[in-house]
Each structure stands twice: as C-alpha cells, then as structure tokens.
Amino acid sequence: MSATTIKPWVVGNWKMNPIHADAQQLISEFKTLLQDSPVEAEKCHLGIAPVTLALTQIQAALSEAVRPVYTVAQDLSRIAGLGAYTGEVSAELLKDSQIDYVLVGHSERRELFADTPSILNEKVKNALQAGLTVIYCVGESLQQRESGQAEQVVLQQICDIAAVVDAEQWQQIVIAYEPIWAIGTGKTASPEDAQTMHAKIREGLSQITAYAVTLPILYGGSVKPENAVELAACPDINGALVGGASLNAASFHQIAQAFANTQ
C-alpha cells in the first residue's frame, strides 16, 4: 500500500469552544450538509472533538448523521482507571461512554498545561490499553524551525512515545503534524514544506514500526477551504486536524470534501 491510498481523516478540534446552543446549531448544520452533499464514509474518516463536558451530547447528536462521525476527546488523564483524582477523566471512563478516539500532545497542552513527554507517554499508554485510537500531535515552534531544528524536534516527539506503544498498537495511532507557528495564526505551511515534513515523519516511523506505510499523518495549522485542496493533493498528507475552520459547518464540510475527493 502506498501512502496515497490511506483513507484520509478530517477531524475538527473545537478547543474550548463554543457555548452549548452554538454547538447544537453547528452539528445540526453539519448534518444537513452531509445529507445534501455526501462525504462518503468509504472515502474519509470524520471526527469532531468538543469540550469534555459536551462529549456525550455531541455523540448523541452525531448518531443521527447520515454517516459515521466520530466523537473525539481533546485530552485524557495520565491516571488510568477510577479513583480519587479530582477533575480527571481516564481512558477507561471515555471508553465506558463509547468515546473511542482521543487527541494527545496538542501543542496547547504541551505549552500551557505542562504536558511533558513523560506525562504524554502515560496518557498514550493508558489510551491504547483501554482500546482508544490516539491522534498524537507533534510540531515545532517558529524558533525551532528558524534554527533548522524542526525535523529533529518532530522526530524526537515521535520517538518519545515509541517506548510505550507495542508493535501492534501502532495501528491505533494517527499522527497530526501541527507546526506551532501555523496554529490559529492564518499562516499555513506551504504544501511543499508540509509534504517534506510528512515524508520525513513517515521515514522516521518506518524505523520504528512496520505499520509506517499505512499510518495516517494529518496536517494541522490554519487549514481552511482555500488551502485544503492543495494540502490534500500531497501524497503523505492523509487528512487534517482543523481548529478555527471547524467552528463553521460549511468550511469544515468543504475541507472534508477536499480530502474525500482524493480517493
């Protein structure tokens, strides 16, 4: 299988947005768009990552969509199971609510909430053991890119989790490459630069896992309808993690169509 035959993923990362009424409206509009202009399930995985508080409500609303749309958690506890851990939500609790997907290592978690490599390893390990699929985010800062360290930083972030991912569990991993300087800034990596990094990531993964050739590598950072077609055309870009543009149903739907149309 060549990287271009990997079924793409388009996942909306809502971050700490929106209020309840707007979320319901957004899902309702997105469901109507999917009904009127289908994005075929065989051509593209779709997911939405709302705030933890809304996971089960959004999941219920999405269950009535014309095709599967996964509900994705934005984070999970580094502690497994149940217990006296105020404010935490474990992998097992997500799984118990039929939430099968989780983001781990988003740069906002790394930078603002001190998610260190060892904490992220605990999160990845727990998620995989509970049977969740992990969308593991990696990416370099502007300073790291300008000093020529981008590739080394990103490959190190991938090597970090290799210690806790068993040979077969790589099938439960999706990588999202999100250069920090492109997140929420309107600046996107050029399709050439993104493709170059994605190819390097796949090459790095091939040293670690036999599943490198089938492992989806998503791009994230100011993905919008205007740049989605070009990004989707790159052979090693197997989808998108979409922040701001996923808060608009029409934009998110257009991005999904751009990736589905590559199949």
C-alpha–C-alpha distance, residues 241 and 221, integer Å: 8
Q: Of the two residues 69 and 137, which places its CB atom closer to ligand PGA in the complex?
A: 137
Residue 114 CB, shortest distance to ligand PGA, in Å, is: 18
C-alpha–C-alpha distance, residues 120 and 210, integer Å: 23
What residue spans of 163-220 are helical by DSSP H?
191-206
Q: For ligand PGA, how many residues bind (rule: CB under 6 A)?
A: 13
Residue 207 CB, shortest distance to ligand PGA, in Å, is: 26
C-alpha–C-alpha distance, residues 256 and 252, integer Å: 6
Q: Of the two residues 144 and 222, which places its CB atom closer to ligand PGA in the complex?
A: 222
- 45, 106, 198, 253: which is the annotated catalytic residue? 106
Q: Which residue's C-beta sits nearest to ligand PGA? A: 243
29 in catalytic set:
no
Structure-block tokens of residue 244: 């701001």
Residue 78 CB, shortest distance to ligand PGA, in Å, is: 21
203 in catalytic set:
no
Q: From the list 184, 190, 192, 226, which residue makes contact with ligand PGA (rule: CB under 6 A)?
A: 184
Structure-block tokens of residue 58: 């959004």
Footprint (CB under 6 A) of ligand PGA, residues 142-161: none
Q: Of the two residues 104 and 183, which places its CB atom closer to ligand PGA in the complex?
A: 183
Structure-block tokens of residue 228: 């989605």
Q: From the list 3, 6, 10, 13, which residue makes contact with ligand PGA (rule: CB under 6 A)?
A: 13
C-alpha–C-alpha distance, residues 262 and 238, integer Å: 10
Look at strands 70-73 and 173-177 and give their pairing.
unpaired
- 140, 178, 198, 253: which is the annotated catalytic residue? 178
Q: Of the two residues 81 and 184, which places its CB atom closer to ligand PGA in the complex?
A: 184
Residue 239 CB, shortest distance to ligand PGA, in Å, is: 12
What residue spans of the chain are helical by DSSP H?
20-36, 55-62, 91-96, 107-112, 117-129, 142-146, 150-162, 191-206, 225-232, 249-260
Torsion angle (degrees, nearest 10) of CA 168, 169, 170, 174: 150
Place of tokens 């796949």: 202
Footprint (CB under 6 A) of ligand PGA, residues 186-245: 220-223, 241-245
Residue 173 CB, shortest distance to ligand PGA, in Å, is: 17
Lay out the site mask for ligand PGA across 68-107 (x = CB under 6 A, - = otherwise).
Answer: ----------------------------------------
For the chain, how far is it from start to end, CA to CA, in angstroms? 14
C-alpha–C-alpha distance, residues 174 and 251, integer Å: 23
CB contact set of 206 (below 8 Å; sequence gap of 6+):
212, 213
Q: Of the two residues 62 and 242, which places its CB atom closer to ligand PGA in the complex?
A: 242
Binding site for substrate, by residue number, is 13-15, 184, 222, 243-244
Catalytic site positions? 106, 178
Binding site for ligand PGA (CB under 6 A): 13, 178, 183-184, 220-223, 241-245
